[in-house]
Amino acid sequence: MSKPKAKSGTKSRGKASKPAPRKKRTASAGEVTPAGRSSLLWRLTKWSLVLAIWGGLVLGAVLVWFAWDLPSINDLGPAADKTRRPGVTILAGDGSLIAGYGDLYGRRLTVNELPPELVQAVIAIEDRRFFEHPGVDLRGLVRAMVTNLRAGGIVQGGSTLTQQLAKNLFLTPERSYTRKIKELLLALALEQKFQKDELLTIYLNRVYLGAGTYGVEAAAQRYFGTSARDVDTYQAAVLAGLLRAPSRLNPDNSTKAAHERASTVLSAMVAAGYLQPEEATKITKTRRPGRGNAATPRSRVKGQTRRYFSDWVLERAAGYAGSTTTDLAVETTLDPRLQSLAEAAVAKVDAKGAQVALVTMRDDGAVLAMVGGKSYGVSQFNRVTRALRQPGSAFKPIVYLPALEAGMSPDSVVRDAPITIDGWTPRNFSGKYQGDVTLREAVARSLNTVAVRVSEDVGRERVVQAARRLGITSPLKPHPSIALGAGEVSQLELAAAYAVFANGGFAVAPYGISEVRQGGDVLFRRAGATTRRVVSEKAAAQTTDMLRAVIDWGTGKSAGFGIPAAGKSGTSQDFRDAWFVGYVGNLVTAVWAGNDNNSPMDGVTGSTIPAAIWRAFMAPATNVGVADVERTTPSRNASGVRSPPRRIPERVPERLDSEFILDQLD
């Protein structure tokens, strides 16, 4: 029986047959084989490396490009302050702010010299992770981005204190990617060069904090009147709050905005763990931005005309700065209350288009108020200190002083009659002559011929010498017309001359500076009043006696307001200048009215506009109500009689000023 044939494709017994080749599997569309995957991964890796290398090269090139012109940070530190000029803060006698000049920087203080509360307030509100990040806070950037996206606008910034320092010191405030990249590079460089405490020190001494102040020391001095070393927690919160918007949030601009921002800072200090919630609540409810007593808003001398005084003081304070860069704090004699009254008096009285100036001082020369013109904004020219004008009859007390020192008295009789000197014949304002009169009467009625006669009798040189003793330094010529105030003087020195009469005869040098400080050092402190006598006590008292008659029943009656006052009006040629200068107790005030171009006024005399301004100021300045005063009190003469002398009408006509009009001199 034959064996059956093996089937095709099967193994025969006893001998292995060659296996049939396996059929290749075809990949379906879109399917990646293991070999393909390996090849793709290799290509991705390769190109990623290539891109990374090229990206690194490009980034490096970009960084080099931006870093090429970055400013140097090597000059930061204490030595950097040597290039700046000092600023000046002008303070009134009560410590309130008058004005600030220049960029104000305080003494450089290290972090270790500042109270911990101040550093904590700044860290809490501006950069809570300052001591942890390397200059750039990626976590803070992400947090700021999320917060801004949720708010639909920019409500939080991601810049660190180091970035802010870089921007403030080296870059412009423009918003651009270029500036931001440079800011980041500078921040990283600063962190590499300086320790954290050093960066904080630089930042806190350089950051702008509003009102022209740079650094916490200058800001603390300006807003609180104290050093940054002595600020409390609330004041620290106010200073830290300024970093967001120094011009809008500073106490000088808005105490309300400053307080609200300080409350936000205190809340941030609670969140950072620096304060307990109850502490922050108590401080927020009981404190307000202020100077000295924080419960009282910081005062400031208001009114644009205060700048006449501060400009005058600045000229004298600048010399104390020397070559140092620390800011000056200048404490002055200005009295804010009297300054406000002076400004109100000048504004109240209609000057008929003329300029007006007023200065008031104590009888030791301390200037308490100054209005150098009707509008500082229109004209910064200070008419009190810079203008030289003819004082007219306001100069006559100086003319009579040598006569009193030579033995005459207010009751001495002189002749009021026509007189001619070298072809010049002066006239009385009224055109009439009174015959024999006393010196008191001649002063009260401002009789010109008597003044000229006395001047000629005692000698014109002695009149000039008397003016020099009284502090008048302006050029004066011994011309016959000097008796009638034809020489030119400044308003300030004329007021000082009257102050000598007011204080009993002691020398007076007008001054406005009490103390100058630079950092913690006192550079200048005013000594006590001078004891140098330049006029005898008797002559000073006799002059006061005659000047009281002027206001009691003479040509200056319109200036009276019910208490003993001494003064004199004056009107120069063709009504070009009108004056009233006088004193009550130790308060001396001089008022001038006129035109800057020296043109005549429309019949304005010293007994009209200047006297009205003088009264409007002196009555409230001496706490006497003008409205309640109907009659003045007549002065006593040497015999003790209170009634006016003969020939003086009980009611002086309104225009009876007895000011002469100078004839044109050769």
Catalytic residue status for 607: no
CATH classification of the domain holding 370: 3.40.710.10
Same domain? For 410 and 508 the reply is yes
Domain's final residue, options 244, 264, 286: 286
SS3 labels along 223-279: HHCCCHHHCCHHHHHHHHHCCCCHHHHCCCCCHHHHHHHHHHHHHHHHHCCCCCHHH
- CA-based nearest residue to 250, from 297, 197, 209: 209
pTM over 0.85: no
Claim to verify: residue 513 and residue 607 sit in the same structural domain:
yes
Please indicate, yes or no, whether residues 212 and 351 belong to a single structural domain of this protein. Answer: no
If asked whether residues 132 and 278 sit together in one domain, one would say yes
Residue 654: the pLDDT is: 28
Q: Is residue 608 part of a domain?
A: yes
DSSP-derived letter for residue 352 is: T
With respect to residue 635, please indicate whether it lies within any of the assigned structural domains. no
Q: Does residue 484 sit in the same domain as residue 553?
A: yes
Q: What is the pLDDT of residue 489?
A: 97
CA distance 120 to 68: 36
Residue 640: what pLDDT? 36
pLDDT of amino acid 531: 82
Q: Rounded distance, CA 175 to CA 635, Å?
A: 75
Question: Given 126, 343, 441, 493, which residue is catalytic?
Answer: 126
pLDDT along the chain (666 residues), means of 10: 44 47 52 62 75 65 52 53 65 86 78 94 89 74 68 62 73 58 72 83 88 86 85 94 90 88 95 94 83 41 80 84 70 95 94 94 96 91 96 97 96 95 90 94 96 96 97 94 95 98 96 88 84 95 98 96 96 95 97 95 94 97 54 36 32 27 26
In a domain, 414, yes or no: yes
Give the range of the structural domain holding residue 419, as residue numbers without chain letter. Answer: 343-628
pLDDT at 335: 96
Q: What is the pLDDT of residue 651?
A: 26
Q: Note if 393 is an active site residue.
A: yes
135 domain residue, yes or no: yes
Element of type H or E holding 455: helix 448-458
The verdict on 282 and 383 lying in the same domain is no
Is 404 within the bounds of a domain?
yes
Asked if 470 and 581 sit in the same domain, the reply is yes
Residue 14 lies in a domain: no
| Together in a domain, 377 and 502 | yes
Tokens of 287: 């404190």
Residue 187 sits in a domain of what CATH number?
A: 1.10.3810.10
Q: Which of 267, 393, 455, 635 is catalytic?
A: 393
E-only strand ranges, 439-550: 513-518, 521-525
Establish if 650 belongs to a structural domain: no
> Bridge partners of 100?
89
Count of structural domains, the chain: 2
434 plus 348 within the same structural domain = yes
Strand partners, 250: none
Q: Which helix (H) or strand (E) holds 568?
A: strand 566-571
Query: Which pLDDT belongs to residue 89?
Result: 84
Asked if residues 252 and 97 have their Cβ atoms less than 8 Å apart, the reply is: yes
Q: What share of the chain is helix, strand, coil (3-state, %, to 5)?
A: 45, 15, 45
| Together in a domain, 276 and 373 | no
Q: Which residue spans within 365-447 are E strands per DSSP?
A: 367-371, 413-416, 435-438
Task: For residue 554, give the nearest of 438, 406, 391, 425 by alpha carbon.
Answer: 438
**In a shared domain, residues 348 and 272:** no
Q: What's the pLDDT at 563? A: 93
- How would you classify the pairing of strands 328-332 and 88-91? parallel
Please check whether residues 429 and 517 belong to one and the same domain: yes
Residue 331 domain flag: no
Q: What is the pLDDT of residue 181?
A: 66
Model pLDDT, residue 4: 42
